[in-house]
Amino acid sequence: MPITQSLHAVPLQVLQDKATLLRIDSVLATTEAGSGHPTSCASAADIVSVLFFSVMRFDPRNPRQSDSDVFVLSKGHAAPLLYAAWAEAGAFPREHLLTLRKIDSDLEGHPTPRLPFVDVATGSLGQGLPAGVGMAFEAKQLRHSDQRIYVLLGDGESAEGSVWEAAQWAAFHRLDNLCATIDINRLGQSQPTMLEHHLEVYQRRWEAFGWQALPVDGHDIPALLAAYARAKETRDRPTVVLARTFKGKGLGASIENAEHWHGRALDRDTANQVVSELRKQLTGGENHWEPNLPPASPASGIAAPQPAATSAKPPYQIGGKEVATRKGFGDGLAALAPADPRVVVLDGDVENSTYTEDFQKAAPYRFLEGYIAEQNMVGMAMGLAARGHVPFAATFACFLTRAYDFIRMSAISNLNIKFVGTHAGVSIGEDGPSQMGLEDLAMMCAEPNFTVLYPSDATSAWRATWLLAAHSGPSYLRAGRPASPILYGPDEPFAIGKCKVLRRSGSDRALVVAAGVTVPEALRAHEALQQHGISIRVIDLFSVQPVDREELIGSAREAGRVVVTVEDHYEHGGIGDIVLAALAGERIRAFKLAVREIPRSGKPAELLDRFGIDSKRIVETVRSALG
Amino acid sequence: MPITQSLHAVPLQVLQDKATLLRIDSVLATTEAGSGHPTSCASAADIVSVLFFSVMRFDPRNPRQSDSDVFVLSKGHAAPLLYAAWAEAGAFPREHLLTLRKIDSDLEGHPTPRLPFVDVATGSLGQGLPAGVGMAFEAKQLRHSDQRIYVLLGDGESAEGSVWEAAQWAAFHRLDNLCATIDINRLGQSQPTMLEHHLEVYQRRWEAFGWQALPVDGHDIPALLAAYARAKETRDRPTVVLARTFKGKGLGASIENAEHWHGRALDRDTANQVVSELRKQLTGGENHWEPNLPPASPASGIAAPQPAATSAKPPYQIGGKEVATRKGFGDGLAALAPADPRVVVLDGDVENSTYTEDFQKAAPYRFLEGYIAEQNMVGMAMGLAARGHVPFAATFACFLTRAYDFIRMSAISNLNIKFVGTHAGVSIGEDGPSQMGLEDLAMMCAEPNFTVLYPSDATSAWRATWLLAAHSGPSYLRAGRPASPILYGPDEPFAIGKCKVLRRSGSDRALVVAAGVTVPEALRAHEALQQHGISIRVIDLFSVQPVDREELIGSAREAGRVVVTVEDHYEHGGIGDIVLAALAGERIRAFKLAVREIPRSGKPAELLDRFGIDSKRIVETVRSALG
């Protein structure tokens, strides 16, 4: 049986047998695990067989090769199908499939990038397409590669708004190297989907969003091949294959297209019976397939040395004009544009507020306007990071809450994304609580692998931007709106994990830990307390996570184990908690100043006063603590 | 000039003059404030004039009257326009408009329910329509009222996926009492929108999503009137009025339809000039309007006594069959169905996992299937809560991150929503990290007005459900997946703000604070340590926020000020931080056991062990702390 490598040239019987094998392997693995989603695998088995064994050009032994086509399983609960396909393709031995969901196996319940063939973790629905859009943009616009991106979604999943955010963006940018497939198996977890098998409604929606939409019988292999061939030939717009399928297809009459079979493994007897029936359908074609090696191409990722974090300097002078930390970030980012070609920037239509517009001017082709769709913005950043770029994704800190599920999944994927939230805290003033980021530190610091920096002036913001670009791993930079004094000179060194001790004496009686906009308040409090003969130590925390535990412990001990934290953030989950946790073993007395109620509009100074985080309150707290 | 009250019967000149007045007031207020979005008000002034002074039936002195039509300003940055309309309608004196954005004024930068005519805070885009869908469902399906819901969106805003989540749900439920308007003024904050003035694309998209879509010149008052009349007559589907407008309309040639005028107040000279030109257009019609009082109707909200939290009992017995806390919640919720008619339940297609299906069976008409679109699910809950219901919105804890921006805005609105997150922590087992809620406490506890309960067995979960139904205010209930022992009898009392001391002796040498799935671990540790002659105090935290500070302080003091916290949550923002904060003044030594890295698939017990939160680790930590 001759095997050739171009689309359509693989004999149908090979694809049919491979699909049957994928069903068999999905059933066996989930039954062995005692849990999982075999019926969600079965509906998509023909689609995946066609994609892997005819349509896609890839090398299973080197899936991240930069010209390999990419497959994203957005419906991550069909993980056993994904694993079966890669095993069939030769990425690893088939017998490993039976380690599914075990603690010492990387074949987890939902896919994660612990596996070399997974770019982004999935399992929270509606994230694969945004990530795929980021990858398609990267391939087409940044690398001019003919790499194609295939994303498989579930039908219930397409109720997620993020899918439509991604759809509109991909069409707007005419990403014809992107091909989505929706496995329209009619059944969600608890009941039928809203649209069931109404493919004509799907078609109208996707066409209205600017896509080529191809309805097809998702178990008809020639029809699938024809659809993917048409997608490949189509220019100027992405394609979605709308595949009408049956959940549990091929697993027997009592399971196929039946409700209440979502997320249930078959018991051993049923599984044996089903597998035995499936095996009868095999014709030997499953043994015939070889990888369709792409031409040699450079390794994936952007081959560029990262700049040394000291090769440039922030332009601000101590005592000079006041500059906002968001502007320090924007300036630092613009300076990175020529220095680090890995850096790409995304914004959600607020680049004239976050100052990413400075980068946009410097490197327009590496700037992605996300418009007002923060989930897709972060999803695209996931795709860009997975392909070796260093995306900075910026918006108001409060609006990053919109994308928390994506941020959480970025953490699971350990992606090298730099999130930037500006307009933190009540100090933004008159716009009011809806625009104030007051839970962003809680949200970001919860992720255990996140680096979190919170600069207090434009110089440290500039430095933080460069530090994060050079650092590998998910990160968050918190910036403020108001112009604030320059506290550090251009040669001041900063490091992840290190704080700055701004005031220190041998007679300090309390330690005040501030960050961002409260640092100048703490310095004012220091001055006021000096006039009462009280010395305090003042720390600018700068690195919230990891935190400078050593300096905090040393300073707390030297300052009478009396600690005051002050922050423009809600009470729980911010720098107060981080500092308390670092000092948990120290038998300290601590006082946390933070925003303790829902704030309101007003002038920044009025709000710092009203919500108890200004110098006056620091002074009162220290004096009361010292009795 | 005769004023009649039905649609169309108000003279056009009145509506034109009112629109001009709204523009004048929007300019004056923002110029006085020195900030704000006058151009975003000006584009929608004609729409708002038509809605308020001809289309809507409402009583400005009693806007929450249950049959009053509702107006939701989803583009919350046009707040000055909203305030001007209500002032024109007689809700408050016009001169108050000049207090815009001042700290002692409720006329905040973006609308909040501090104002009697605002149901839900807006200012984070894409939330008004989901809330409006909840209100429209409430009026039509729960009250059979002919109340109509009008939502005004921006065009940049309609890039938010949540808008499309709401659109599909409203069409699926044929909410013909819902009418959206999109103010298509072509310009976002930083640049033109993706679709600019391509109304035909908007039309295709909304029609594909099942809406009647009516393109119209948004400055043509007769055309607007005709569109709203058609909307009112249309049955079986919602209507969207696609209004082609110009940003800054009427504010002069240099401002109208010009870029870089987003979010900028006019300086005084420009404002005076603009206002003087606008005043010339007034014909006297602005003085002619009276409220079109609706017929007398009962006050808004569901008139039903809330059940005493002790009027029923959980059915579980100590030592009986193990039951998951999610099942305790589901049972408690089902028992609430007949007891409290205010309660409505929303789920995101996982009701057979969260056990809200038990409520669904008991009260199908008060169950809203949200499908896989968590943002709209929470948005609808916002609308339902604003109209006096007590919505429980449930899904996996991890997927509530999807709606964090909505949860945050619920906090700002102080809405009476009960969020429920099941499948918390690594103890869910094999499904892996994407399905594990590990940052949910950080997210929820950050909101200062949230009540957060975390029951450890089915009895306390049942009680927590009833406590939260009776409690007024936004709340979160955290529940787990695995079956776990019944620790409390049916008569055990529980209270918000109170923990449970499970083990106490006069010789306790350490305090162990646990919650949820770690409580049985702590009890096992207690037993193991007893065998080494070490007594520990064991607290089941139960009420995470507010926390039982008094008992924690007393117990910490009696247990040698050595405190160990143990939780199935990431390290930062969970119960460890809450306990440390409560004990901040106590000079304790504390040890926090929590999940400190991204977890993986495995069996629950293996994962508790691997990530260091099982009884063995508690024993080790206590012994090491005591030297």
Distance from CA of A5 to the nearest CA of B (A): 36
Q: pTM for this one?
A: 0.97
Residues near B276 by Cβ (< 8 Å), separated by ≥ 6? none
Give the whole-angstrom CA distance, residue B514 versus residue B567. Answer: 6
Residue A347, helix vs strand vs coil? strand
Distance from CA of A472 to the nearest CA of B (A): 16
Radius of gyration of chain B (CA): 27
Three-class secondary structure assignment of A12-69: HHHHHHHHHHHHHHHHHHHHHHCCCCHHHHHCCHHHHHHHHHHHCCCCCCCCCCCCCC
Say yes or no for a CB contact (<8 Å) between B372 and A409.
Answer: no
Banded pLDDT at A1 (limits 50, 70, 90): very low
CB contacts, 8 Å: A352 with chain B: 189-190, 260
**Averaged over B159-169, what is the pLDDT?**
98
CB A407 within 8 A of CB A432: no
Say yes or no for a CB contact (<8 Å) between B590 and A585.
Answer: yes
Selecting among A88, A160, A357, A374, the annotated active-site residue is: A374
Say yes or no for a CB contact (<8 Å) between B402 and A124.
Answer: yes
Total residues found in chain B within this entry: 627
- Please write the tens of the pLDDT for every residue from B388-447: 999 999 999 999 999 999 999 999 999 999 999 999 999 999 999 999 999 999 999 999
Which of A373, A401, A591 is facing B404, going by the closest CB pair? A401
**Averaged over A542-559, what is the pLDDT?**
98
pLDDT at res. B293? 62
pLDDT at res. A567? 98
Radius of gyration of chain A (CA): 27
CB contacts, 8 Å: B586 with chain A: 589
Which of A103, A159, A429 is facing B165, going by the closest CB pair? A159
Banded pLDDT at B116 (limits 50, 70, 90): very high
Say yes or no for a CB contact (<8 Å) between B586 and A591.
Answer: no
CB contacts, 8 Å: A36 with chain B: 430
Which of A34, A161, A589 is facing B375, going by the closest CB pair? A161
CB contacts, 8 Å: A399 with chain B: 124, 405
Structure tokens at B547: 């926390």
pLDDT at res. A304? 55
Say yes or no for a CB contact (<8 Å) between B573 and A573.
Answer: yes
Distance from CA of A78 to the nearest CA of B (A): 11
Q: Within 13 Å, how many C-alpha atoms sit on residue A119's CB side?
A: 38
- Please write the tens of the pLDDT for every residue from B237-286: 999 999 999 999 999 999 999 989 999 999 999 999 999 999 999 998 87
Banded pLDDT at B162 (limits 50, 70, 90): very high
Of B81, B80, B55, give the one whose Cα is nearest residue B68.
B55
Alpha-carbon dihedral A205, A211, A212, A216, rounded to 10 degrees: -50
Give the whole-angstrom CA distance, residue A473 versus residue A410. Answer: 10
Say yes or no for a CB contact (<8 Å) between A160 and B112.
Answer: no
Chain B residue with the nearest C-alpha to that of A78: B431
Give the whole-angstrom CA distance, residue B467 versus residue B329. Answer: 11
- Please write the tens of the pLDDT for every residue from B214-233: 999 999 999 999 999 999 99
- Please write the tens of the pLDDT for every residue from B333-347: 999 999 999 999 999
- Residue for token pair 């809406």: B211
CB B463 within 8 A of CB B496: no
pLDDT at res. B4? 36
**Averaged over B467-476, what is the pLDDT?**
98
Is B609 exposed, middle or buried (CB count within 10 Å of its CB: 0-12, 13-18, 19+)? middle
Give the whole-angstrom CA distance, residue B440 versus residue B417. Answer: 16
pLDDT at A312 over 50: yes
Which of A36, A445, A573 is facing B445, going by the closest CB pair? A573
Say yes or no for a CB contact (<8 Å) between B168 and A159.
Answer: yes
pLDDT at res. B306? 58
pLDDT at res. A3? 34
Distance from CA of A8 to the nearest CA of B (A): 33
Say yes or no for a CB contact (<8 Å) between B209 and A207.
Answer: no
Say yes or no for a CB contact (<8 Å) between A376 and B439.
Answer: no
Which of B209, B350, B411 is facing A190, going by the closest CB pair? B350
Of B551, B604, B612, B541, give the one whose Cα is nearest residue B577.
B541
Residue B447, helix vs strand vs coil? coil
Three-class secondary structure assignment of A109-122: CCCCCCCCCCCCCC
Say yes or no for a CB contact (<8 Å) between A588 and B591.
Answer: no
SS3 content of chain A, % helix, strand, coil (to 5): 40, 15, 40
Residues near B248 by Cβ (< 8 Å), separated by ≥ 6? B38, B39, B42, B43, B255, B256, B257, B258, B261
**Averaged over A424-438, what is the pLDDT?**
98
Chain B residue with the nearest C-alpha to that of A99: B602
Distance from CA of B192 to the nearest CA of A (A): 10
**Is the ipTM of this structure higher than 0.95?**
yes
pLDDT at B625 over 70: yes
Structure tokens at A437: 């980021």
Three-class secondary structure assignment of B368-399: EECCCCHHHHHHHHHHHHHCCCEEEEEEEHHH
CB contacts, 8 Å: B210 with chain A: 201
Say yes or no for a CB contact (<8 Å) between A435 and B156.
Answer: no
CB contacts, 8 Å: B610 with chain A: 103
CB A18 within 8 A of CB A52: yes
- Please write the tens of the pLDDT for every residue from A114-158: 999 999 999 999 999 999 999 999 999 999 999 999 999 999 999
Q: Beta strands A500-503 and A536-540: pairing type?
A: antiparallel
Say yes or no for a CB contact (<8 Å) between A372 and B408.
Answer: no
CB contacts, 8 Å: B201 with chain A: 208
Say yes or no for a CB contact (<8 Å) between B430 and A35.
Answer: yes
Say yes or no for a CB contact (<8 Å) between B208 and A191.
Answer: no
Banded pLDDT at B10 (limits 50, 70, 90): confident
pLDDT at res. B289? 81
pLDDT at B368 over 50: yes
Which of B121, B584, B598 is facing A449, going by the closest CB pair? B598
- Does B256 qualify as catalytic in the annotation? no
CB contacts, 8 Å: A34 with chain B: 430
Distance from CA of A47 to the nearest CA of B (A): 23
Distance from CA of A387 to the nearest CA of B (A): 21
Alpha-carbon dihedral A375, A381, A385, A389, rounded to 10 degrees: 180
Q: Which alpha helices (DSSP H) does B504-570 contain, by range? A: 518-531, 549-558
Sheet holding A149-154, edge to edge: A70-73, A149-154, A178-184, A239-244, A212-217
- Please write the tens of the pLDDT for every residue from A203-257: 999 999 999 999 999 999 999 999 999 999 999 999 999 999 999 999 999 999 9
What are residue A347's phi and psi, to 5 degrees?
-145, 160
**Averaged over B3-29, what is the pLDDT?**
83
CB contacts, 8 Å: B194 with chain A: 168-169, 172, 371
Residue B415, helix vs strand vs coil? coil
H or E element that contains B126: none
CB contacts, 8 Å: A124 with chain B: 398-399, 402, 434
pLDDT at A8 over 70: no
Selecting among B165, B351, B374, B521, the annotated active-site residue is: B374
Distance from CA of B76 to the nearest CA of A (A): 9
- Residue for token pair 């009795």: A627
Say yes or no for a CB contact (<8 Å) between B161 and A161.
Answer: yes
CB B345 within 8 A of CB B386: no
Chain A residue with the nearest C-alpha to that of B121: A434
The one-letter amino acid code at B275 reads V
Give the whole-angstrom CA distance, residue B440 versus residue B398. Answer: 7
Q: Beta strands A483-484 and A323-324: pairing type?
A: antiparallel
Give the whole-angstrom CA distance, residue A465 versus residue A485. Answer: 18
**Averaged over B1-29, what is the pLDDT?**
79
Give the whole-angstrom CA distance, residue B366 versus residue B358. Answer: 12
Which of B190, B371, B574 is facing A349, going by the closest CB pair? B190
CB contacts, 8 Å: B198 with chain A: none
A31, A152, A412, A488, B550 from A122: Cα distances, Å: 22, 11, 9, 42, 43
Which of A123, A160, A438 is facing B432, going by the closest CB pair? A123
Distance from CA of B584 to the nearest CA of A (A): 5
What are B394's strand-pairing partners?
B347, B420
Say yes or no for a CB contact (<8 Å) between A189 and B597.
Answer: no
Of A332, A376, A333, A369, give the one whose Cα is nearest residue A351.
A369
CB A213 within 8 A of CB A199: no
Banded pLDDT at B1 (limits 50, 70, 90): very low
Chain B residue with the nearest C-alpha to that of A165: B161
DSSP letter at B138 equals I
The one-letter amino acid code at A513 reads V
- Please write the tens of the pLDDT for every residue from B562-608: 999 999 999 999 999 999 999 999 999 999 999 999 999 999 999 99
pLDDT at res. B303? 53
Of B495, B520, B513, give the one whose Cα is nearest residue B552.
B513
Going A466 to A467 to A470 to A472, the CA torsion angle's sign is: negative
CB contacts, 8 Å: A407 with chain B: 401
pLDDT at res. A296? 54
Chain A residue with the nearest C-alpha to that of B171: A194
Interface-testing mutation among A431, A587, A624, with chain B (most B C-beta atoms within 10 A):
A431
